[in-house]
Structure 1
């Protein structure tokens, strides 16, 4: 069953639900401004091919006390929910019908900030993780490809105030990215809420 009436055409072995304008424009503007101002952004460094590189975006991890999250060789211990993030979580839980105990905030300052190909398939997310992705600010293209393939199978534009939900077997069979772009684009904030089922 689809969460939203205007869901995307279904890809095989995936469940994607998308709603443009999930959040009313005035609230989207207000949330974006407040989150950018109050979040203690960090830029972790990851080791690739024997060298350390800064991740190409700013990040912050919030969650319940037990929601420690490990990805890309980094361990993220949660900051406590702010009043605004607690409000957003409550609204998202009502929308997706599932408890969510952690949120990764990604701040894309311009088109040179990006997220490389990956799947959200860490063991602490469980067998069929649900990822609720709230998008605020500039529109960026979101690409999907089959695991083991190089060709982009599907792309969509993630707009201000939109919500994308990935669930079911999606992370087993698909990877996604937000690629760099030379096109002018406004700063973008992406909040991905999830349920951490176990800790490292």
Structure 2
């Protein structure tokens, strides 16, 4: 279920930087929820993946589930509001997103959480990020993905069939906004296909879990 990182055929540069955000496309999900998508916002994404994979101090976690302790199926890193991010382009991305969404969000993105999906066995179960203010307020979570694409699946809260699957990697940006964390759920399902590693960077405003 694992494979080495397969470089993007459309992004062969080693120069790491951001494109314009004007190409963002919005999809309205319903119940006040929406997502914005921009493919390939970050160029040099494969080079950034390699830097993050080797330089970030990744940690493995264990959690109690079903009356037993299990490994969290991915590696994690978190950077708080005062912490320097592990690459300058991640600081630039956070500032650019804060400026672009300033009128709607009315506050900046402040924190960054990183997830390292090593292969198809690593995953995130269905959930909404409803810790803190996102449990009662509309907000945004922006996710920048580097490495090989993995599906971000979405469905209305409460279960049922998957409504949308977005393969994200190689510098793609997705922003979940409005009521998305309260009225919809998202997941990164396990894959039985041989897939390469991926890192996602999740930007959140203050107090949004």
The answer to whether the superposition gives a TM-score over 0.5 is yes
Residue from 52, 58, 67 that aligns with 1:41: 58
Inter-CA distance 183–8: structure 2 relative to 1 (3 Å threshold): farther
Residue from 169, 174, 194 that aligns with 2:204: 194
Per-residue deviation, 1:60: 0.4
Residue from 69, 81, 87 that aligns with 1:52: 69
Q: Is the CA contact (8 Å cut-off) linking 2:169 and 2:198 kept in structure 1? A: no
Task: Name structure 2 gaps, 5 residues minimum.
Answer: 1-20
Task: Name structure 1 gaps, 5 residues minimum.
Answer: 66-78
Counterpart for residue 113 of structure 1: 122
Partners in 2 of 1:56 and 1:195 — Cα distance? 25
Q: Deviations over 1:144-175 (max 9, x none)?
A: 11111221111111131100001111111100
Matched, 1:158 2:168: yes
* Moved >6 Å (runs of 4+): none
> What TM-score do the two structures reach when normalised by structure 2?
0.79
- State the secondary structure of the residue aligned to 2:186: strand
RMSD of aligned residue pairs (Cα, Å): 2.1
Inter-CA distance 83–7: structure 2 relative to 1 (3 Å threshold): closer
Partners in 1 of 2:26 and 2:193 — Cα distance? 25
Residue from 152, 156, 159 that aligns with 1:142: 152
Q: Is the CA contact (8 Å cut-off) linking 1:4 and 1:17 kept in structure 2? A: no
Aligned length: 182
